[in-house]
Each structure stands twice: as C-alpha cells, then as structure tokens.
Structure 1
C-alpha cells in the first residue's frame, strides 16, 4: 500500500510526534521537541534537518544559517522588507527570521516534496503576518519559471553535501540564479563538505565562472575560521551578487553599483559571527581554492 501523504496523528494519549511521508523523496518527516534546548526539530529520514524556536523566531541555532542571516541583515536598512527566494524549505527557519527582522517581506519557498511546507506550517505556525508563497518543484525547474522576478536574495539550501544532484549545482544553475537577483541582490549557497573541502573549492570555481558570465565581482566565503584553516569538514556559505561589489560596466573597465564597501562589509560580517568567523572576499576565496588544490 502506498504511504499516505497527509500528516499522521498519534494515537489518543500518545506523546508520539506527528509525521508525514514525503511523496518524492520517500522519507518520513517528523517534528519533535528539541532534546537539547527549547523549540522543535524537523527530522527527515531519521536525520535532524532544521531547528525552530517558536518563542524566539529570530534565534538561529545552526551556524551556516546564522551566517546567511547576517548577510540578509545588511541587504537593506534595518526593518525594511525584502523579497527572498528560498530553494529548499526545511522547517522554514530563515523565512521566520526574515519576517521577524523585516516584517512584511515577500518570500517564496520552493521544495520538491509537496507535503513538507503544509506539514511544517501546520505543526510550527509561521510568525503572524508572514507573506509566503510555496511552489512545489525541483529547484532547477523552478528557476526559469521565476525569470523576470528581481529578488533581493536567493537562498540555495538543498542537498548541501557531496551527493548534491549535478543539475542543482554548477555554473549553469548558478548563472540562472544570479539572473533572478535585483541589481543589489545576493545569492547565498550552503555547501556541506568533508575534510579537504574539495567540494567547496569546486563549487566556488563554478560560482566564480557564473559571476564572470553575469559580470559580477566574484565569490565570497563565510565559514568557521578553524574549518577553513584546517580544511576540516563542515558547512560554508558561498555568496555572490551586486551587494558584494557591484557589476562590471558595459565597457568592461569599471565596477558599478556596490552597496557596501568591501572592507566595511568584511568587518561587519566578521563581527556578526558566529565565532571564530572567517569572511573571505573574492581574492580571499580564490586563495582558499588554490590552497585546497595544493593540499
């Protein structure tokens, strides 16, 4: 018998968590109380995927998401709404943060599993006033459908490890995503990697090539400083877009439209943590890629 696509309620008197079978991935998604603190966790296929604290939606536990949030914080003046595309739903941790810090922001989330967003929002309601559009699609298929939109931020947080589907990584996909940005927008990509960080280096090269296609300055890297120093496993964020240095002029001679000066941006994002924090501008990212290649 095919698994049900609707949330399953626990038996009367049971404290078992609610769950739903995800139709495309075939995994079981469950929401459980956080055993190590306040809030709840989303578990998919037996692995904890997200953390949400309904009482403190501005609190972000996972470091890579906190680093992404720090970039969103400098996109516009405090409290000003922004337009964000989230590729990968999870427990909607980042959309909750955006609504809390920038009420009235227009947000779009894309996930391949039809059941996930409705399950999460039913069990862990979004902050009041959240404007969220949910699209059921593969992230690569959704990108062309969204062409013509100007997002202030595009967040790619799908299959963050070495098993990432090839069509959801690489130069072509990144070029599509950069094309969805407003002139001062930013693309944020979560990369989860093993010791050696060869996937991180590979995707940084791919994103750099896409930046050249889009006439953008290059790739920034945000991560734990110790992780980059030791080339140890963990999650890093690659970032690119007009916010991070502007676009090359039509004559190919000057850079235009930088929102925040590079040194100022580096200082702000480094100070924001989590610590120890490393924030590499395009030159620093290129140096990291070379060092990984020589290791």
Structure 2
C-alpha cells in the first residue's frame, strides 16, 4: 500500500483515509529527526546570550522532552476525535513556519527584550517540537487497519521515530553545523516542513494553509538577514566575530558567543589589552630570565595573544597550542594576521587529550586559557587534569591559568584548592577585594590568574612586574590564600560541578 487510500476498516468500522507504509515511515522518520535538529540548533542560537553551560543544555533538553511528551499525548487524543488525515498537513506546516522564524525572533528578542528571552526560546522549541511529535500518533492512527496488528504497527513506527531522532542528531552534530550557519539550517528545515505539508495537502485536499505558510517562511528568511546578532563566522563551536578597535588601527577583538575572548594587535604582539593577559606576562617574565626561549604548551588558543607575545619577546620559543575549534584557527590566520612563520604550532584538538600526547618533563611553561563561554571546561579543572599538567612540566616548570568567577567565587576557590593538591607552591593574582586582601572593599569577581609550581616563584619580582604593567592586581599566598580557599572541595574527574559552582556576571563579559 502506498500513498493515501480510502475506506480502511478497523474491526468493521469504515475510516476515511489511511497511509501507505512508506508514506507513514517517511512522515514519522522526518518529523522525529526534525525535533532533534531544532533542539541541537537551539543550543547554538542561545549560546551567545545564555552561555554554553550545563544549565543551558539541560534547559533546552528538558523543554524538548516536554514538547515531545505533550505532542505525543495531545496528538493521540486529537487523532481519536478528528479525522487524522486532516491533522498532518497543519502540524508540518505550522511547525515549519515557527522553525523558520526562530533565528530572527530569538536574536531580536535577545537584543531588544532580553528579559523575555527564556520565554520566547521555550516557545520556539515547545511549539514545533509538540507539533512534530504529534505526527507519530496521528500517523499511527491512520496505519491501524486491524486490532490484530496494533503491536506491530505501534512498535514499527516507534522504532522508525527513534531511528529518525538518531539520524537527526548525528546529521546536525557532525554535518550540518560544521557546514552551514544555524540560521540556514533552520530556514532550510522550515522550508522542508512546509513543502511536506504541501505534499500532504495535495493528497488529502483537507487544508489550504500552505500558501500562507510559504509566505511566512520567505518572510522569515528576509527577517533573518536584518536581525541583530549575526556572526561573521559560525564555527563548529561558536558564533564568531572580529571587531576592529576604533582607537587602535591594528587592534582586533575576537568575540565568541558574545564574549570578548582575545585582543590582538596585528602589528605589535607585545601590546596586551586585557589585564589578565598582562598578569600572565608579568608572572612569566619574572619567573624566567629575560629573553630566554621557552618550551610552552597552551591549553586553549583563541586569538593566540600570549603565544604571539612569547614569540616576540623570547625569540626561539616553541609554543604548542591545543585549540578545539578549527574555525577559530582559521580566523587566526585569515583575520588576525597569524603568520605561518610565527613559530606557533596549533593543533586542533581537545585540551585534555592534547596534554596526554605530550612527553614527560618536556616543557618550561603550561598556560591554561580554555573557555566554553565564560566557563573552563570541567575536564580541564580536575586533580587528574592538573596531574597531567604537572607531568609535562620539568622540575622548574610553571603552570599559569586564567579563571573567571563572580558571586561567592565558589569555582575559583575550588580550582585553587585543586591545584594545591597537586603542586607544592600555589599563588593567586587578582583585584585585592576579590582575593581577600582588602576586606573593606566589596568583591565583584571577574578574571583571576593562578600560578602553580613545584619550585618557589619570586613573588616580589612578580608583584613589581604587575605594578609595572598597571594591572592594580595583588598576590595572595600562604595563610592568606588558605583563608580565602576556606572549605572549598577539590575537583576530580568523579566530582567537578563547574557549571553549578560558577556564577557568571554576564555572558558578554571579557575573558
């Protein structure tokens, strides 16, 4: 049986229409795949405004599951009360229109009414998700021609729907996002859903809304081109922009998901705009003889500001960088002036896996500056990860890392406690109020730099270097640092709730 046929019988009761096997399979497979496409792409759309954290992912997954549950339940109930053949076209068409409108609506809301973003985001996932989830029970109703085959029909279509969800997940994560902007993915999906609605309408002639929805999709495409918040480039992991500095002709800021990740002066790599980078430079310059080449490994690359600084100030330095996002590496070369002759070797790899590939005791310096949004990926924060850092450092080696935290600084305290479990000497650099050295001032949080080593570091020279670079930062160590850490629990591979500990001030803050 193919297509739509008339007058099937369920225990002798005539029914107006039924679906052929292949038509039913295609509808269930496609609608289930579409739900997962919407879910995954929604995470990418929200990341510039809410951050790409465990909480954001959990929220989106929860909303998507709610939509699937509600759509399945309501779709089944309505299919028992209304001719099911009249429901498929509207479900596909309306969901397609909402999906196509989602990029423009979400980005406009985030810019002009951010207090409504969670509500609007929820609706843009709930509505199409529920409509698409309703397709399976509707199709199941149309396929049931006899109670004797109920188990077979329900089981087959349930399996097809699950397989469609798997294909939608894999296709989006491994193919679509790496090749297409998220707005193009959603516009294309919306177009396919409305086209599917039109094909169903041609067969059933029960609904006449496809023309209107086609106009909505066209309008959504036009709206997306003028909506705020567009990216210069959508990489595998980020919405990326390069912003020129109006006060410095060669200055460029790399913005990833709305966060200023790196500042690069393409003509002068010794110019360091961000305070935390100047602090890292102060630590390294005071810990090693001036001009001495180093063997350095960088966990996280971004705009490669500090590797460029080392190449300029310490000729002969070998810098190996683990940067997970190939799109960011491409921007470094195409937009931020990275020369192939810079002496900087960038590997597209996860930072933890990159550490594992390094030889023991082969580096003078390891720099930790990897972020997803404003959060250090949890697997780079643990005792086990720090033990790997310690393994690749020589006896006089130094680990320096950039951290961000706000509020009660629970994550920063836990990370410093973790480093204390691995290294003999640990110190924390930051604003005096933030690191407990000025009890009369209120802590605001922000960037911190933590240094760790098995050899003592000349902290007086480090403080002089911080002052020379006009950071305004101080150094906490010893009893002051112990008091600041308090009862913070060490992070391990078995326990590292980084997203819950972290209290970001704003997803648009400066790394």
Normalising by the smaller structure, the TM-score range is 0.7 to 0.9
| Residue 482 (structure 2) pairs with residue 286 (structure 1) | yes
Cα distance change on mapping 1:55 and 1:101 into 2, 3 Å: same
CA positional deviation for 1:191: 1.0
Q: Given the alignment, which residue of 177, 197, 202 partners 2:414? A: 202
Cα distance change on mapping 1:282 and 1:175 into 2, 3 Å: farther
In 2, are the aligned partners of 1:171 and 1:207 still within 8 Å (CA)?
Answer: yes
For residues 113 and 187 of structure 1, the distance between their equivalents in structure 2, rounded to whole angstroms, comes to: 23
| Residue 453 (structure 2) pairs with residue 220 (structure 1) | no
Higher normalized strand content (fraction of residues):
1
Q: TM-score, normalised by structure 2?
A: 0.47
What's 1:30 paired with? 241
Task: Give unpaired runs (5+ residues) of structure 2.
Answer: 1-174, 182-229, 490-511
In 2, are the aligned partners of 1:194 and 1:233 still within 8 Å (CA)?
Answer: yes
Cα distance change on mapping 1:48 and 1:86 into 2, 3 Å: same
| Residue 261 (structure 2) pairs with residue 49 (structure 1) | yes
Q: Given the alignment, which residue of 209, 232, 236 partners 1:19? A: 232
CA positional deviation for 1:49: 1.4
What's 1:2 paired with? 176
Cα offsets for 1:202-226 (capped at 9, x unmatched): 1111111122xxxx2x210111223
For residues 113 and 4 of structure 1, the distance between their equivalents in structure 2, rounded to whole angstroms, comes to: 11
In 2, are the aligned partners of 1:204 and 1:289 still within 8 Å (CA)?
Answer: yes
What's 1:231 paired with? 443
Higher normalized helix content (fraction of residues):
2
For residues 18 and 161 of structure 1, the distance between their equivalents in structure 2, rounded to whole angstroms, comes to: 15
What's 1:268 paired with? 464
Cα offsets for 1:96-118 (capped at 9, x unmatched): 11111111210001011122213
In 2, are the aligned partners of 1:104 and 1:129 still within 8 Å (CA)?
Answer: no
Moved more, 223-232 or 107-116: 223-232
CA positional deviation for 1:283: 3.5
For residues 484 and 470 of structure 2, the distance between their equivalents in structure 1, rounded to whole angstroms, comes to: 20
What's 1:193 paired with? 405
Cα distance change on mapping 1:5 and 1:48 into 2, 3 Å: farther
CA positional deviation for 1:190: 1.1
- Structure of larger gyration radius: 2
In 2, are the aligned partners of 1:100 and 1:127 still within 8 Å (CA)?
Answer: no
Moved more, 232-241 or 73-82: 73-82
The DSSP-based 3-state class of the residue aligned with 1:110 is strand
For residues 188 and 182 of structure 1, the distance between their equivalents in structure 2, rounded to whole angstroms, comes to: 14
Cα offsets for 1:141-179 (capped at 9, x unmatched): 111111325211111111278743321212111111111
In 2, are the aligned partners of 1:220 and 1:279 still within 8 Å (CA)?
Answer: yes
For residues 281 and 351 of structure 2, the distance between their equivalents in structure 1, rounded to whole angstroms, comes to: 21
CA positional deviation for 1:5: 5.3
Cα offsets for 1:48-83 (capped at 9, x unmatched): 211111232111111111100111112322111111
Moved more, 32-41 or 53-62: 32-41
CA positional deviation for 1:242: 3.6
Moved more, 91-100 or 270-279: 270-279
| Residue 297 (structure 2) pairs with residue 85 (structure 1) | yes
In 2, are the aligned partners of 1:109 and 1:135 still within 8 Å (CA)?
Answer: yes
For residues 5 and 121 of structure 1, the distance between their equivalents in structure 2, rounded to whole angstroms, comes to: 19
In 1, are the aligned partners of 2:416 and 2:485 still within 8 Å (CA)?
Answer: yes
Task: Give unpaired runs (5+ residues) of structure 1.
Answer: 8-16, 246-259
The DSSP-based 3-state class of the residue aligned with 1:196 is coil
In 2, are the aligned partners of 1:196 and 1:232 still within 8 Å (CA)?
Answer: no
In 1, are the aligned partners of 2:333 and 2:339 still within 8 Å (CA)?
Answer: no
Cα distance change on mapping 1:160 and 1:270 into 2, 3 Å: farther
